[in-house]
Amino acid sequence: MIPGPFLLYLGHSDDEVGIKTSRGLAIFRTGDCVGEWRHDDCPLTLGLPLLAPAAARAAGARTLVLGIANAGGTLGEPLVRDAIAAIEAGLNVASGLHHRLRDEPRLVRAAKQAGVALFDVRDAPKDLPVGNGKPRAGNRLLTVGTDCSVGKMYATLALHAALRRRGIAADFRATGQTGILIAGAGVPLDAVVADFISGAIEMLAPARTDDGWDLIEGQGSLFHPSFAGVSTGLLHGAQPRAILLCHDPSRPHMRGLPHFRLPDLAECLAANLAVARLTSPDVLPVGVALNTVKLDEAAAHRLCADTGTALGMPCTDPFRFGADPFVDRMLQCFAPSPPPISASA
């Protein structure tokens, strides 16, 4: 486990989506976050106290989380300098970037001298199996998306909270750096060799014999040419009984690819169901989760209502308005097993 409390790094970031790891921790592990560290040219904030490393350490922080993402997941020179400053202030450093902290000699030397630790979150488990597609017991739901970074993790965590409020057993299965930092465990799927993606998910969400649910955080999109391979392996390995489609209606095109259009919702849903049926022939959709953060409340409700009517299934923003419509649909489609009949009955 990465020692908390955390100082969340924003650095020089100017991309709202690029700080999603820091933002996710600020929202879902609020009590473990003492402040944010950003430079004067950073226009973004998490609403936390602005603290430099020494002040954060004095306030109780134990780890700087480099909660930003960039193209390629690299450790640039400014980020390395800031990480060294945090280490010299007595903070551990955690990162989910593809460029590992342990592969930067200056960070390794500084951490050794300061007696602190480096945590690379994007390390895949060793000895992952190849997926086998054998039917396995249990309820599993996978969030899928029209694009990457549309709110699949938020929707999964909102659904997790809604199920547990109803007294239904549910486990969040993290597959990305932010989810892993929030949950404390998981598999960083984009660090897994392609042949082992489906096997990694079979391991992450094995058979379960109760009426509870494994809620598997989705990654990428079948329609994003950069990440469709990860999404395909995830669909096969998850062997989901249910899928929840996630979408950001404010997107003009695929993230990072202005030459690629976003798919139609019905088209995207049909494609995900078709791919999922290889290992889960009876998979069903349980709704559409819209990320309405850029809409006012009235417009968000109207869009959810119109989308739900058009597709004939529940549609809401589960983080903003709650995930109960999806829970209702799940209970309707997947009724719990009846109790066994006693011999005396």
Same domain, 175 and 210: yes
**Same domain? 154 vs 210:** yes
Quick one: pLDDT at residue 100? Answer: 92
Q: Domain tally for the chain?
A: 2
- From residue 277, alpha-carbon distances to 91, 133, 220, 222, 340 in Å are 47, 11, 19, 14, 30
Residues 109 and 173 both lie in one domain: no
As given in the structure block, the two tokens for residue 154 are 């938020």
- Same domain flag for 24 and 158: no
Residue 216 three-state SS: strand
Q: Which pLDDT does position 345 carry in this prediction?
A: 43
Task: Note down the domain range covering 11.
Answer: 6-120
Domain assignment present for 199: yes
Q: pLDDT of the chain along its 345 residues, tens only?
A: 899 999 999 999 988 888 989 999 999 999 999 999 999 999 999 999 999 999 999 999 999 999 988 766 778 888 999 999 999 999 999 998 888 999 999 999 999 999 999 999 988 888 899 999 999 999 999 999 999 999 999 999 999 999 999 999 999 999 999 999 999 899 999 889 999 999 999 999 999 999 999 999 999 999 999 999 999 999 999 999 999 999 999 999 998 899 999 999 999 999 999 999 999 999 999 999 999 999 999 999 999 999 999 999 999 999 999 999 999 999 999 976 555 555 444
Task: Give the domain-ending residue among 120, 149, 170.
Answer: 120
Does 199 share its domain with 312? yes
* Mutual angle of helices 105-114 and 77-88, in 10-degree steps: 10
Tokens read off for 330: 């799940």
Which of 91, 120, 149 marks a domain boundary?
Answer: 120
Determine the angle formed by the axes of helices 197-204 and 228-238, rounding to 10 degrees.
40
CATH number, residue 38: 3.40.50.720
What's the pLDDT at 23? 94
Same domain (yes/no): 71, 213? no
Residue 337 is predicted with a pLDDT of 59
Degrees (nearest 5) of the Cα angle 235, 236, 241? 70
Q: Which helix (H) or strand (E) holds 92?
A: strand 92-95
The C-alpha torsion from 12 through 14 and 17 to 21, rounded to 10°, is 20
pTM of the entire predicted model: 0.90
- 30 and 79 fall within a common domain: yes
How far apart CA 91 and CA 251 sit, in angstroms, is: 37
Q: Can you give the CATH number for the domain in which 266 is found? A: 3.40.50.300
In a domain, 99, yes or no: yes
In a domain, 78, yes or no: yes
